[in-house]
Amino acid sequence: MTRRAVVIGTGHYLPERVVENAEFEDKLDTTDEWIRSRSGIERRHFAAEDETTSDMATKAAEAALKDAGLEADDIDAIVLATSTADLTFPSAATMVQAALGMTKGFAFDIQAVCAGFVYALSNANALIASGQANRVLVIGAETFSRIMDWTDRSTCVLFGDGAGALLLEAQDLTGTNTDRGILATDLNSDGKYKDLLYVDGGVSQRTTGYLRMQGNQVFRHAVEKLAKTANTALEKTGLGSDDVDWVVPHQANIRIIQGTAKKMGLPMDKVVVTVQDHGNTSAASIPLALSVGNARGQIKEGDLVVTEAIGGGLAWGAVVLRW
């Protein structure tokens, strides 16, 4: 028997404010058509002035708990992926723990930018596989609208805010690739590419900073590295692209999503796409898409799902799981 981390609940939250592409036309040298053609994005959500990352994460977590029919004290840990935590410390995860009324266990943040949720899933899987936790709430939540340079049309039109959550439960299964749950993970980083995607400020520099990106270079690395990490994770399970029911990628750019699917030899009708409605929500994008795909009835029990993401660092990785 093998101890697997099985998805038993999903949930997501999007801020009330919806920002259509047309809103940028009065402020920037851009158009709805320009944004759509280069990114596939049509709209995104922005957090309210008094709405924080932990607020959104809590609402997504509550939805995932409700979906699973569980209460906060039924879980042992919270792993929250974010690059836009409320405070320098404590972690946003501990704020979610308090807001949920969870009186036991532990909570911590993971920061791997857009790859954060893949890293969080991998860590949660390790906690369950090692016996340190039986149920783990894994959350991705971001308020990237707080770190946008609103004069930079190449970046500020791409990002949005939101949160998504998965609830994982330990189950003793056969140890084969027919099991439900997380079957394999693959994580990577290469710090020499820092200048391709970063925020030009931080605590030790005593500044907040804005997001900066070399979009063409990020695109070039993304398609190659995402397809490779997805195939590497699949190889660890003894499965291949033909076995995949759904790819649920980081929702950064429709051209990256299409290019990665093509490189993997998969048609777009096997890809869950939400980028048109949410924009790039960084670490929140995969759990948002998983929750939406589950709510739509696209992803069904027993389906083989591949998630992959790349973000600043550069950091990238993939997770293969059976729903």
Residue of 235, 261, 229 whose CA lies nearest to 248? 261
DSSP per-residue codes, 204-252:
GGT----EEE-HHHHHHHHHHHHHHHHHHHHHHHT--GGG-SEEEE--S
What are the structural domains of the chain?
A: 2-173 (3.40.47.10), 181-322 (3.40.47.10)
Q: Which of 125, 134, 280, 294 is catalytic?
A: 280
**Position 280 confidence tier, pLDDT thresholds 50, 70, 90:** very high
Q: What digits encode the pLDDT tens for the residues 70-103? A: 999 999 999 999 999 999 999 999 999 999 999 9
Q: In the structure, what pLDDT confidence band is assigned to residue 205 with cuts at 50, 70 and 90? A: very high
3-state secondary structure 124-190: HHHHHHCCCCCEEEEEEEEEHHHHCCCCCHHHHCCECEEEEEEEEEEEEECCCCCCCEEEEEEEEEC
Q: Pick the catalytic residue: 12, 21, 45, 114?
A: 114
Catalytic-residue membership of 125: no
pLDDT band at 211 (very low <50, low <70, confident <90, very high): very high
What pLDDT, on the 0 to 100 scale, is given for residue 262?
97
Catalytic residue among 250, 253, 278, 294: 250
- pLDDT, residue 73, reads 97
Mean pLDDT of 147-172: 97
* Encoded amino acid at 269, one letter: D
Contact 82, 116 (CB under 8 A): yes
Rounded Cα gap, residues 120 and 138, in angstroms:
7
What pLDDT, on the 0 to 100 scale, is given for residue 217?
A: 96
Report percent pLDDT > 70 for the chain.
100
> For residue 55, what is the enclosing H or E element?
helix 53-68
Closest CA to 289 of 310, 276, 321: 276
Measured CA to CA, the distance from residue 144 to residue 312 in angstroms comes to 13
3-state class (DSSP) for residue 33:
helix
Q: What is the pLDDT of residues 246-269, one digit of tens each?
A: 999 999 999 999 999 999 999 999
Q: What is the pLDDT of residue 45?
A: 98
Q: Which amino acid is at 267?
A: P
> In the annotation, is 114 catalytic?
yes
Q: Residue 165's pLDDT band (boundaries 50, 70, 90)?
A: very high
**Contact (CB, 8 A) for 322 and 305:** yes
Q: What pTM was computed for the model?
A: 0.98
- What pLDDT digit, counting tens, does each position of 8-64 carry? 999 999 999 999 999 999 999 999 999 999 999 999 999 999 999 999 999 999 999
pLDDT reported for residue 200 = 97
Q: How many CB atoms lie within 10 A of CB 125?
A: 24
Residue 12 a catalytic site member? no
